Structure 1
């Protein structure tokens, strides 16, 4: 059972009416799902003059035009539970895919096309999340150059419990798209190759027919999609809802959250409008910026990504408090991945990151 205590200067309600000249930090456990305290500092905990070591906040600028991403994916961060990648497809694949290592989640940053799967076809457009269960055979058809943020997971992607919010919260279940059974559209190739990923290696299986041969299916394992634009955010005009309230997918040892357009908290109630300072003490945090005005961040463009390791504070950039003072709503869309165990940047990440990002709070 929790045993709340308090000492010194503090607020009646977290994130509300923070005393002039003080800065609130949220010291929470288990991401934003566990026990928590707020501290009220005389200095912002991000007002450092130097950081030496591996825990510097990191940033990848928008790199979808990078030659290494043309018709390919690059893994940027990974641990034993998940791998995060970026990729651009300018043309349809001429081979099929089957992942025997991971369940897959594709977020469409830009573009359009169709995932043709063994369960049927899933058309996609900008803003779609496409969930592909492990072992699903599929091919990606492109109608407009597509840019993806991909999350591969050792465990299944599940929807969060809606609890006392009821079954219609977050998004209506009818907003989910599931495919109707259909054969693969290409029936005149001389051969069809399926690239199967297992233990990080590729085995290629060749067929004389299109492997998307299912004329029907039933069950509870199937690919599906939901648009980030169909997500209805949890909000309160009198309380700053923590990121856990914006969870879209739950997997083993990590979550995926969606930040979407919403009214901001009411100024007359003196509610904090920008994210509170925190240090992710049990989780690493990755944010992929999709679109909008990211007013809590300086010099972050759509398509960029930030990585904040557990143990080092982060929060609004210095200009954010003033910028958000009179804002009535946020039009930003972003995807967050919070992982229980540390993520390791790949060599490609380290070669392309903005190494001065940690200085942006100074």
Structure 2
């Protein structure tokens, strides 16, 4: 994150003595990416964050087995049909995934436990509801349409607002999620041609200054989830500064790029991660050439699997297929896809679209999670057949 931030009480510069009112030293913690050769932040704790009372394997926390998308088919998943609520950490329904990214869906009506993902960053898209992300960096209020980026190994928890439910799509990366490099200057500032800028980002407020003893924290690594018990509360941070922290960006603040003729998906790119990109489709003017065909052509992204989460609005190119709000479509590499029968002609002359969707493109094939079969539309493959 190229946006430097300073919050709470800190010393005037890094790595110098910083004392509590009673004269004892605050405990400095350095969080840094890429072997401390990239973004980092310095946090100042009341107590040492390393005091762990116990560590044990968390039961039922193994990553679910996924199966290949074979025979190769497009898929339409309806995660709204999945039963059960819970919290935004332990009750995720894994829909799709590979070694680079896992896509899950969750409906949370209770606060999550304290958690940190030591594998990679998490990008959480809030489909509906409101609440807050609490972390060692402070509090971040979240709501419908927010992308929330949680850096690797950030201790945090998700708390739905009173009487509300958070419905969210979770992308668990195997590395760091960042704005595309082409949007940034050499110094890290968003360029004028970027579809969003620093002013569109919301940062934590706080600090939380939580207290407590024998505090449980779930930590995920590649071998599973470990339950730590910390002697003191990880949120006992009095202040911090740096360029590494959670932040939120609302999809409604994405400024779409339009043209006289169809523009390809890279103009909608919002974030990038190792082996994948995230794009935002938002309400926008259609192509304005007098002979333009507003919907995308039939296409085959030969290097990528393409996933769309249909968040809100009217999805013209998929009309009549059963796809609606909350649907997830998977169009794998090797499958030619595009507008459904009748949608090309219906789009001619249209001036704008009112759809909101989040797209995941991966460079390695996606596998199907164990709940995919429970919410799949079995007739999706035949939805491209013309009705004669």
Q: Which residue of 301, 316, 322 maps to 1:280?
A: 301
Aligned to 2:95: 76
In the superposition, the TM-score normalised over structure 1's length comes to: 0.80
CA contact (8 A) 1:184 1:211 kept: no
**Take 1:270 and 1:216, find their aligned partners in 2: how far apart are those partners?**
58
Measure how far apart 1:239 and its partner are: 1.8
Q: Deviations over 1:96-128 (max 9, x none)?
A: 010011210000000000000111111000000
Q: How far apart in 2 are the matches of 1:191 and 1:272?
A: 62
What are the within-5 Å matches in structure 2 for residues 1-362 of structure 1?
54-61=71-78, 63-64=79-80, 66-71=82-87, 72-93=91-112, 95-143=113-161, 144-160=164-180, 161-162=182-183, 166-167=191-192, 169-183=194-208, 187=211, 191-236=214-259, 238-266=260-288, 269-298=290-319, 299-362=322-385
1:107-157 CA-to-partner distances (Å, cap 9, x unmatched) read 000000000011111100000000001100001111120101111111211
Q: For the residues of structure 1 that align with 2:209 and 2:143, how far apart are their CA atoms?
A: 20
Using a 3 Å threshold, how does the CA distance of structure 1 residues 272 and 184 change in structure 2: closer, same or farther?
Answer: farther
Q: Deviations over 1:130-185 (max 9, x none)?
A: 00011000011111201011111112111111379933631132110111341256
Q: What is the CA distance between 1:272 and its match in structure 2?
A: 2.1
List gaps (5 residues or longer) in structure 1: 1-51
1:228-263: CA deviation from partner (whole Å, max 9, x where unpaired): 011001111x12110011000011211000000101
Once the two structures are TM-superposed, the CA of residue 56 in structure 1 deviates from its matched residue by 1.1
- CA–CA distance in structure 2, aligned partners of residues 58 and 351 of structure 1: 12
The farther-off stretch of 122-131 and 274-283 is 274-283
Q: After TM superposition, give the deviation of residue 92 of structure 1 in Å.
A: 1.7
SS of aligned partner of 1:278? coil
* Equivalent residues, number: 305
For structure 2, the residue ranges without an aligned partner over 5 or more in a row are 1-68
Distance 2:173 2:71 in 1: 24
Q: Which digits, 9 at most, give the CA deviation of each residue in 1:47-82, with x for residues without a partner?
A: xxxxx9521110102x33522454311111111111
Q: 1:324 to 1:227 in 2, by over 3 A?
A: same
The structural deviation recorded for 1:352 is 2.4
2:94 touches 2:370 (CA, 8 Å); kept in 1?
A: no
Q: 1 CA distance for matches of 2:248 and 2:308?
A: 20
Q: 1:330 to 1:184 in 2, by over 3 A?
A: farther
Deviation for aligned residue 1:191 = 4.4
Tell me if structure 2 keeps the 8 A contact 1:130–1:225: yes
